[in-house]
Chains A and B, each alone.
Chain A
Amino acid sequence: MASKFGLAGGIPERRVRPIWDAVDSRQYKAALKLCTALLAKHPTSPYALALKALILERMGKPDEALSMSLNAKELLYSDNIFHFDDLTLSTLQIVFQRLDRLDLATSCYEYACTKYPSNLELMMGLFNCYVREYSYVKQQQTALKMYKTVGEERFLLWAVCSIQLQVHFTSGGVKLLALAEALLKKHINSHSLHEPEALSLYVSILEQQEKYDAALEVLSGDLGSLLGREEDKLRLQGRLLAQASSYPAASEIYQKVLESCPDDWESFLHYIGCLLEHDVNLPKPSTSEHTCPSCSVDSALSNKTSLSKELVESRLTSALSFVQSLQENNSSDCVRGPHLANIEIERQRCLNGNPDNIKLMEALVKYLHRFGHLSCSASDVEIYLHMLSNNEMSELLDEITRSFDASSISVNTLGSTITLFKVQELLGTLFTKSTSELQGIAKRMVDTFYKNLPLSNDLDPQESMYGEELLSMASSILVQLYWRTRDLGYLLEAVLILEFGLTVRKHVWQYKITLVHLYSYLGALPLAHKWYTTLEVKNILLESVLHHILPQMLNSPFLQHAADLVKDYLKFMDDHLKESADLTCLAYRHRTYSKVIEFVQFKDRLHRSMQYLSVKSDSVMLHLKQKADSLDEVESILESVSHGTKLVQLSNEDSIKDLTFNEDLDARPWWTPTSSVNFLSEPFDESSTPASYSAKMCKHKSNEKDGSRSIGYSFDDALSVVLGISSGKKAVKDFAPDIVSWMSFAVFINAWNLCSNVSVIPGTDQSSQNSWWIVDNLVKTCIDQQLTDTNQMLTSPGSNIPLLAWMVTEPISWHLLVIQSCMRSMAPQGRKKKKGGPSERPNTPHLQAIRSSVQCMADTLQRVQKCLSDQMKPEDQALDVLVSHLQGTSAEGPGQITRVLDESAAAANSKIGGRIAHSLEPWSCACVMRRIVGAESETIAELRKICTSKLKLLASASASLSLVLH
């Protein structure tokens, strides 16, 4: 733009160019120097001032940048300005945006537009300002003004987009759609439309008003040719016809779609829906919610049809022959749709009055015969498997077993073997097998994986290898065995299998994610964190993948690692939310109207993310935990969040109401379906069936949507719980899941009691020691409970180290802050002491209460220290303990797979060869065990460090109390 005019904001372009170049190459100092020189020559040029403001902002001087840009703004507003151009304004806009003052940028453009009312460039700038502020009404008005000024189609569509956004985000905006329609109609009558995106927008305006016939008419007219891809047009027509309840016409259209795209499963479902005259208002599978395929079985097409049984039968028969013709015309393996359609049609027969349809089973068998070697085949038929009876299940398994020769080594045989295992897994038949059978199956899976490794020798190292699913399945079986028998050896073997797999190829994300959870459960957080780090999670994946590691880290002693995770996540989210409007402007400019709306909705979805909300508050807590040893630092942190009112605002009803959940829970292992649930911590239930268990999983996943759990007591009831536990009348165990919250609650009650004029606890007053005593007892009771539960850490995974860490870093830390604060106010130092003189007598009973609390905290923490030291064994001794779990010599019990893995690695050179054998050279089970031992003691050491620093704090508090009291 600058070069176009030769002048930039009234300054010759050749003088400005070097400054921009310096800024672009981040040479801010040089840029500043050039800019200062420029300003000397043009002291009243708003453009030069704006440039300087921009440079100052980049140099990290926001205050100077703001005052500089306000100067520029003031000059712009003064009357003697000759060069009021978009370049100056857009430079200022950048500065204001980066300073979080979009309002200032907008007002500059508003002013400019009133001054030069028909300047299109300025109006576009103003439009963009409103886009950045999400002011849809003003967007609409500005766009319409531009449309009136130059009559271009795109500006009309900008206005229509703005109307769509109003309709979407505000209630009652529906009548605006009629306005949008009228505007478009008028324009079409005089100018027609020229872009496919414009047509889509027009159709969607009509569709939203349920004017399906009108929309269809538009599509079949001249404008319809704007849609480049014929199938897209057909799909749109099909959807409109179905919504208009023109079922026969719709199903005909969908037939056409399927003839050209036989693999289009969604169109096939619509086709069947139209044949059966279901209400086909199928919502698109919403990605904004957790998906849980097994809960949504049948959801798409389970509505009962109103047609007679005979009519249904005849229509399904005709569908079947159509599908068969599709099968004949598409004989390659690449087209599975029509074959799967066969099963769906049989399922529809079952649902519509023919529950004993044996043809469903036949269709399944046929499908698996044909596609069983493909690794997607088991998941293709998953929902149909659940319709089978027990007899049919075993028949199906026999059929698959017979369908291939398991002894040969080929990619197809391997594929079929995996499908057989997967179908068993999906059917849940593994659940009913005996421990030794399961052990045998897991071992077979590992053997099969190893035997087939040569098939993958020629693949690129980054490429997935054949049979990787086998190790995931084997490790999952071993976790189940652990759950059943509580024999730690199985859990260790589950780990070993995956570590072995990652030694073969280091990029298997499924293994890594499972290991993250296994190591977290084993108390070896540093290893969990290490594998998570190798996933290199960034960008939007932070939103969907972070849940695998963050909850464990937040309650661990590794505060810095947790803080780094939180920081990266918040940076991504904050930056994206701040910058996404710039991309919306881009979409307007590129005339991709449908994306404008999608993109604003997407931004809104991220904005309302549950995880974003909770991490924002976690981040403050974490910061407090890190700085909890210094009252001053804690105070300044609290000040920065307006003493918590910002946090309270986060949880107000408006922000809680429409939270979105973007976590990809499907990637989690089955035994921990959400971050707050871990089946392994619950007893194994022999009676549970696969169905009940999968229902349980779904329940947990949907519960997660209901938002955060609160303790859910009234204040008075909560108080009596705390009093009860603290006096020993109530058992800690009964409140176990929330015990840390109860402890913190007691700490806050004490603090509140201290600074409140009225007594918070009935029967006590401000000077009473009672509230101190409550905290002391509660802390002591809860910690002691944990310490007695802490047996050998390595023999009891899911150990209470995290819980201990949580107690120490939260309630105890907060209590120590209360102590510090009391001491500061009661024992004024230095100048103040002299001034006050001896008249200020210390409140002795209060000081004594503090002193006994200090003593109690110190004693408690020392017991924690001792318990932790007891668990720190010399490495070799700890290793022996761990390895002893894997030394079962009989055919039963863990240990066999460990030996298989070691032997396999040793024999790899002769049996596998190539790069895979090479990668297995460093493998040994003992190494993995040693790393686990190391990670566990690292965790303990970290917690000890925290305890030590708290004890130091208490020692100095105790010393100064002694001085005051004696």
Chain B
Amino acid sequence: MVCIRQATIDDLLAMQACNLMCLPENYQMKYYLYHMLSWPQLLFVAEDYGGRIVGYVLAKMEEDPSEPCHGHITSLAVLRSHRKLGVATKLMSAAQAAMDQVFGAEYVSLHVRRSNRAAFNLYTSTLGYQIHDIESKYYADGEDAYDMRKPLRQSQPKKHHHHHHHHHGPGGCCSHDAPAAATGSSQSSSSPDKKANT
């Protein structure tokens, strides 16, 4: 009954509540809305029996023309009561598939705190991400981030099924970027020809 479906704007209330329950940090609402209005195909919620939102993934396409087309996972959250059910994996797979199918992304990237072992395990063992780089002092509190990537386009050798992923699985699987645009001032650029904060 954890059904993965595309997020609607009305889900916003539940998504932010989910964030409150999962993590002490949350985003500027404009940042969520920007994602939702720009790449609605990449936003998924996990809806439990009774219509309760128990998790979500927030993702975007990178718009930098100097890099190959790729997506980026901005945020992933799953309620404690619904951990170890593969919800995070399902959400991530849905977002990755949409990046590939809808936008033709070549790879997907994400940031994760160095200390977040549970999330790191999920991304490497279960989802097949690899460390691409380390961004020092990426988070506001000075912690480093792993810049992780996973190729989407080229046909990958089929991975053997991870029967055991839930043992070390998505425990604290929450990757939260804290890009300046999201946590910093709410003031977007005033120049009329610039886009809102990305």
B-binding residues in A (CB < 8 A): 1-2, 20, 23-24, 26, 54, 58, 87, 90-91, 93-94, 196, 228-229, 232, 261, 263-268, 284-285, 287-288, 291, 293, 332-334, 336-337, 340, 374-376, 379-380, 459-460, 462-464, 468, 507, 509-510, 535-541, 543-545, 576, 579-580, 582-584, 586-587, 590, 592, 594-595, 598-599, 601-602, 605, 662, 664, 667
Contacts and interface: CB of A to CB of B under 8 A. Distances in A.
* Interface core residue of B10, B28, B49, B54 (most chain A CB under 10 Å): B49
B96 to A, nearest CB: 12
Nearest to B196: A586
Interface of B: 1-4, 6, 8-14, 16-17, 20-21, 23-24, 26-30, 33-34, 36-41, 47-51, 54, 80-82, 84-87, 89-90, 97-98, 101-102, 115-118, 163, 166, 171-172, 187, 189-193, 195-196
Contacts, number: 182
A375 B81 contact: yes
Nearest to A8: B193
A590 B198 CA distance: 14
A375 B172 contact: no
Given A90-B192, A374-B85, A599-B9, A287 B14 contact: yes
B117 to A, nearest CB: 7
A263 B2 contact: yes
B12 A336 contact: no
6 tightest Cβ-Cβ pairs between the two chains A and B: A285-B51, A334-B86, A265-B1, A1-B193, A90-B192, A464-B80
A380 B172 contact: no
Contact of B166 (A334, A590, A667): A334
Contacts of A284: 51
B171 A87 contact: no
B190 A23 contact: yes
Contact of B189 (A1, A24, A232, A602): A24
7 contacts: A20-B190, A20-B191, A266-B3, A507-B24, A536-B26, A541-B20, A579-B30
B172 A460 contact: yes
A380 B49 contact: yes
Given A263-B2, A590-B38, A664-B17, A602 B98 contact: no
Given A334-B86, A337-B1, A540 B38 contact: no
Contacts of A375: 80-82
B118 A583 contact: no
Given A229-B101, A598-B8, A599-B9, A24 B191 contact: yes
B192 A380 contact: no
* Interface core residue of A380, A460, A582 (most chain B CB under 10 Å): A460
B181 to A, nearest CB: 13
A583 B33 contact: yes
Nearest to A291: B51
* Interface core residue of B27, B40, B117 (most chain A CB under 10 Å): B40
B190 A54 contact: yes
B26 to A, nearest CB: 7
B135 to A, nearest CB: 20
B119 to A, nearest CB: 9
B13 A544 contact: yes
A340 B1 CA distance: 8
Contact of A463 (B8, B20, B172, B193): B172
Given A263-B2, A334-B87, A337-B1, 6 more contacts: A376-B82, A379-B49, A510-B21, A536-B24, A544-B17, A586-B196
A580 B10 CA distance: 14
A288 B23 contact: no
Contact of B26 (A264, A380, A539, A587): A539
A263 B3 contact: yes
A468 B79 CA distance: 13
B118 A540 contact: no
Contact of B29 (A1, A374, A539, A662): A539
B34 A583 contact: yes
A735 B140 CA distance: 55
B82 to A, nearest CB: 5
Given A94-B190, A543-B13, A586-B37, A261 B81 contact: no
B102 A540 contact: no
B141 to A, nearest CB: 12
Given A263-B2, A509-B20, A598-B10, A460 B116 contact: yes
Contact of A576 (B10, B29, B41, B190): B29
A662 B12 CA distance: 11
Given A376-B85, A539-B16, A586-B38, A287 B30 contact: no
Given A229-B101, A265-B1, A91 B10 contact: no
A379 B40 contact: no
A801 to B, nearest CB: 30
Contacts of B89: 334
Given A2-B193, A375-B80, A595 B102 contact: no
A621 B11 CA distance: 33
Contacts of B82: 375-376
Contacts of A459: 118, 171-172
Contacts of B21: 509-510
B85 A333 contact: yes
A583 B116 CA distance: 33
A640 to B, nearest CB: 26
Given A333-B85, A336-B85, A229 B98 contact: yes
Nearest to B1: A265
Contacts of B10: 287-288, 598, 602, 605
A594 B89 CA distance: 27
A462 B33 CA distance: 26
Given A340-B49, A376-B48, A541-B20, A602 B116 contact: no
B86 A595 contact: no
A54 B80 CA distance: 48
A540 B81 contact: no
Given A460-B172, A586-B37, A599-B37, A662 B13 contact: yes
A667 B20 CA distance: 12
A261 B93 CA distance: 13
B1 A332 contact: no
B40 A594 contact: yes
Contacts of B195: 586
A287 B29 CA distance: 18
B190 A336 contact: no
B172 A595 contact: no
* Interface core residue of B26, B36, B86, B191 (most chain A CB under 10 Å): B191
Given A1-B193, A287-B10, A509-B21, A334 B101 contact: no
A227 to B, nearest CB: 10
A509 B24 CA distance: 9
Contacts of A340: 1, 49
B189 A94 contact: no
Given A287-B10, A334-B85, A87 B193 contact: yes
A376 B46 CA distance: 14
A667 B13 CA distance: 13
Nearest to A463: B172
Contacts of B84: 333, 374
A543 B17 CA distance: 11
Nearest to B2: A263
Contacts of A94: 190, 192
A540 B13 contact: yes
A576 B12 CA distance: 14
A864 B195 CA distance: 59
Given A287-B13, A463-B172, A264 B3 contact: yes
A214 B2 CA distance: 32
A284 B5 CA distance: 13
A460 B38 contact: no
A664 B85 contact: no
Nearest to B191: A20
Contacts of A379: 49-50, 81
Nearest to A576: B29
Nearest to B113: A460
A460 B193 contact: no
A26 B188 CA distance: 11
